[in-house]
Structure 1
Amino acid sequence: MSMQTNLFINGEYRPSSSGETLSVHNPSDDSLVTDKVQVASEKDIDDAVAGAKAAFPKWRETAGHKRAAIMLKFADLLEKNVDKLAKLESMAMGQPITVAKAMIKGPAALWRYYAGYAGKVSGETFPPDEDGTYKIVQYEPLGVCAGICAWNGTHVLAAWKMAPAMAAGNTFILKTSEKSPLAAAAYGDLLNEAGFPPGVINIVTGAGPVGSLLASHMDIAKIAFTGSAPAGRAVMQASAKSNMKIVSLELGGKSPALIFDDAELDNAVSHTSTNFLRNSGQICFASSRVLVQEGLADKYIEAVKKSFEEADKKMGDPSLDDTAYGPLADKKQFERVMSFLHGAREEGVQVLVGGDRKGEKGTYVQPTVFLNPDLKSKVYTDEIFGPVISVRTFKDEEEAIQLANDTTYGLGSTVYTSDIARALRVAGKIEAGTVGINSAFNTSPQTPFGGYKQSGIGRESGPEGIKGYLQPKTIHINMNVPPRK
């Protein structure tokens, strides 16, 4: 199929000024998809920033209902082109086509949600009282903003970053991951068709060095990053060394699932297996540490083993509609996950099911369950980002909370119990930015998403999402100045 591989800068597609390209291989069979994806050079980034900077004054002054109409049309175009975009995403990083479609339709809802904010950003006023000063607080766009996306959910991450920025009146430069650049590269035509003026949104591609150019650029006011903790630290350092730009980070997770004795067993098993394995476990807030109360442990372990074995049968060609689980994103990610599996075997960690590669071609990994790894084992402490969970038991609520919080991460968590009082009590004590009760956590346009501790800073989605693209300005008016004579 035809695909766009150029950069989208100032409303036009163009090749990299350096001539550098990168290759994309289909992870299901290692076949070459394209070797012509253009890598942005420093000049290309400077051009994108210059275009965004020139477009900013007019875009911020565009009436809110006009900005909203453009955003709504773009959402419509995402849905209209869902088949093509999903196929491009699936070819690049192995997402099953059904999952890829869902991860485009969800972002369309995000664009519509934030379109509702355009023109509705209000301020505050305070009366003079005794000080004789009338006080105004108004909220203004930041200017040129940038976003760096991880590869596991390009459209969701792009919408979290671009949609609130647009509603607030900013302009934007989006860098996609080198692992999954194709679907977002197709945005350019859709952005033009929707009516975004040239320079308002720019799409560039490349690996870490391109992200570094954005993070260190003196004319970018904010950068929103989704990715690994080490890369997030590098973004913060680059910001500090350049213009102290605002930084928001959504980093990794090693999220716990707490299953109490009174939990509905089938529901808990379904959400910690079938739902966990969507996108082959490549979801940052997926609960990969499963903590089960001792009274239910034997039944849970038997049931989850069966569920993972059934999931293995549904893993296959991501281009087929009946495939539930696909390969990992590329060879590098495959080798990383396999290193965890091999390391666990060397440590003597018990493997309940899986624990090896699947098939001779592609980057498929068997859905895997480890039992009772040591608390210091890497498969228990580190983010694997694959179809792998570790199961341990606990005695009581106090121990469950202690185990849940024994991590440097704090992105997601889930609690399974029939006691709603306990569910809310435990949710309040878990050190994480999101909690799902009796369900794997699902994001929503209306609620903020982000983490505690080393899972990041700032929030995306919901009302908090647009606040991240606004800056308050305080104006004081002295009301006691006597009239001129």
Structure 2
Amino acid sequence: MSFETRLFINGEYVESSSGEYLTIRNPTDDTLVSDKIHAASEVDVDNAVAAAKAAFPKWRDTAGHKRAAIMLKFADLLEKNVDMLASLESRAMGQPISLAKRMILGPAALWRYYAGYAGKVSGESFPPDEDGTYKIVQYEPLGVCAGISAWNGTHVLSAWKIAPAMATGNTFILKSSEKSPLGVAAYGNLLNEAGFPPGVVNIIAGGGKVGALLAYHMQIAKIAFTGSAAAGRKVMEAAAKSNLKHVSLELGGKSPALIFDDADLENAVEHSSTSFLRNSGQICFAASRVLVQEGIAPKFIEAIKTAFEKAADKMGDPSLETTAFGPLADQAQFERVMGFLNDGKAAGLQYLTGGARKGDKGTFVLPTVILNPDVKAKVYTDEIFGPVISIKTFKDEAEAIELANNTTYGLGASLYTADVARALRVASKLEAGTVGINSAFATSPQTPFGGHKQSGIGRESGPEGLKEYLQPKTIHINMNVGKK
């Protein structure tokens, strides 16, 4: 299968001016996928910015229904090419092909959702009253925007960034993750086929230094970043030290799942195992801290042990439709997760399942359950980003909330109970930007996604995601001029 490896700038595929390349290996068996993925240089970044800046005035002034038609065509093309795009994602970072397809069809729906907003961003007006000033507030695009995507959900994260920017008349530069650049590299042909004018959307690849070039760039008006909290801080620092560009950050999580003694046990186990293990636990808002009320803890622990052992049997070659769970994204991610597990074992933590590598090749980590770690243990406090949960028990609602909120993160949470009043009461007290009740949290085009505390600032998806690419302008008109 051939695939695109070049940069997409100003409507054309171009080679990196530096001659630098990224290497991608298949995490299933460590075979070489490509060592010729073009990595952008500073010149390439400047060229992409210049193209986006030149394209901005015309795209901003393009009628909303015309922008919408192009966006809708792009959504159609995502669906038409879902098999090709999913295969590229699977080869690059081990995402099971069945999941990869869903994570492309979801973004197609998001592109359609935001296409509906094109040309419909309204302002406000206020009467003169006694001050004689007629007041207008209008909302305008920011200009050249940039996005830095994480590797665990490339197409979803790209859509969250590019689609609202397109609907509001901005132009865009997307940097893919160095772990998963193949899928979005294929966007260039689809963007052209959809009818996007040259320079409106540009796609580049590269490592952290390319992201830094975008974050520091003086001609970029806004940057949206998804990734680790440490890298997010660097993006914010770069924005502050350059032109004070707008910044939105979707960072890490260490989300809790609260399971009360009246919960549907089978449902709670399903969402704490199969739903959690989706993408091999490499989901930022996955509930990795499972808090169970004492009365049902023995039954839950036995059931989750069985569920995780069964999940291990469904782990395998991600290119097969029958595979539910694949490897971790690459060797570096594998070593990071195994480092947590090995350190935990050395510290005497109790592992109910897993805690080891599956097989003798690839980056597979067995689904792992850790029982009752200390609240200061790294496996409990730090984001592992792998198929690992820890289980602790609680006595009552107050203790559950205290344990849930005892983290520097605040991205997601879920809770399980048959008591609707308790569900809403507890949800309101959880320090998290997203909450799922009686299910693992799932994103929706209609609702915003983002976190509290050190899980980030700003929101993506929903109407709030649209606002991230707009700035208000206030106009006051003196209505007394010319009065006799």
TM range (shorter): over 0.9
Q: Supply the distance in 2 between the matched residues of 1:52 and 1:321 (Cα, whole angstroms).
A: 39
Q: 1:172 is aligned with what amino acid?
A: F
Q: Deviations over 1:19-56 (max 9, x none)?
A: 00011000000000001100000000000000000000
Q: Supply the distance in 1 between the matched residues of 2:72 and 2:245 (Cα, whole angstroms).
A: 29
Q: Deviations over 1:358-405 (max 9, x none)?
A: 011100000000000000000000000000000000000000000000
Match of 1:418 in 2: 418
| Number of aligned residue pairs | 484
Q: Which structure 2 residues correspond to residues 51-66 of structure 1 after superposition, within 5 A?
A: 51-66=51-66
Match of 1:28 in 2: 28
Q: Supply the distance in 1 between the matched residues of 2:119 and 2:213 (Cα, whole angstroms).
A: 32
Match of 1:182 in 2: 182
Q: Deviations over 1:411-438 (max 9, x none)?
A: 0000100000000000000000000000
Match of 1:309 in 2: 309
Q: 1:357 is aligned with what amino acid?
A: R
Match of 1:401 in 2: 401
Q: 1:58 is aligned with what amino acid?
A: K
Match of 2:80 in 1: 80
Q: TM-score, normalised by structure 2?
A: 1.00
Q: 1:55 is aligned with what amino acid?
A: A
Gaps of 5+ in 2: none
Structure 1 counterpart SS, 2:366: coil
Gaps of 5+ in 1: none
Match of 1:253 in 2: 253
Q: Which structure 2 residues correspond to residues 72-471 of structure 1 after superposition, within 5 A?
A: 72-471=72-471
Match of 2:44 in 1: 44
Q: Supply the distance in 2 between the matched residues of 1:52 and 1:138 (Cα, whole angstroms).
A: 23
Q: Supply the distance in 2 between the matched residues of 1:258 and 1:344 (Cα, whole angstroms).
A: 23
Deviation >2 Å, runs of 4+: none
Q: Supply the distance in 1 between the matched residues of 2:365 and 2:307 (Cα, whole angstroms).
A: 16
Q: Deviations over 1:97-147 (max 9, x none)?
A: 000000000000000000000000000000011111100000000000000
Match of 1:16 in 2: 16
Q: CA deviation at 1:251?
A: 0.1
Q: Supply the distance in 2 between the matched residues of 1:483 and 1:294 (Cα, whole angstroms).
A: 77
Structure 2 counterpart SS, 1:369: strand
Q: Supply the distance in 2 between the matched residues of 1:230 and 1:108 (Cα, whole angstroms).
A: 31
Structure 1 counterpart SS, 2:196: coil
Q: CA deviation at 1:482?
A: 2.4
Q: Deviations over 1:296-339 (max 9, x none)?
A: 10000000000000000000000000000000000000000000
Q: Supply the distance in 1 between the matched residues of 2:42 and 2:5 (Cα, whole angstroms).
A: 18
Q: CA deviation at 1:238?
A: 0.4
Q: 1:266 is aligned with what amino acid?
A: E
Q: Supply the distance in 1 between the matched residues of 2:250 and 2:261 (Cα, whole angstroms).
A: 33
Q: CA deviation at 1:483?
A: 4.3
Q: Supply the distance in 1 between the matched residues of 2:380 and 2:187 (Cα, whole angstroms).
A: 39
Structure 2 counterpart SS, 1:119: coil
Q: Supply the distance in 1 between the matched residues of 2:342 and 2:87 (Cα, whole angstroms).
A: 33
Structure 1 counterpart SS, 2:292: strand
Match of 1:475 in 2: 475
Q: Deviations over 1:191-239 (max 9, x none)?
A: 0000000000000000100000000000000000000000000000100
Q: 1:385 is aligned with what amino acid?
A: F
Q: Supply the distance in 2 between the matched residues of 1:427 and 1:136 (Cα, whole angstroms).
A: 38
Q: Supply the distance in 2 between the matched residues of 1:121 and 1:216 (Cα, whole angstroms).
A: 29
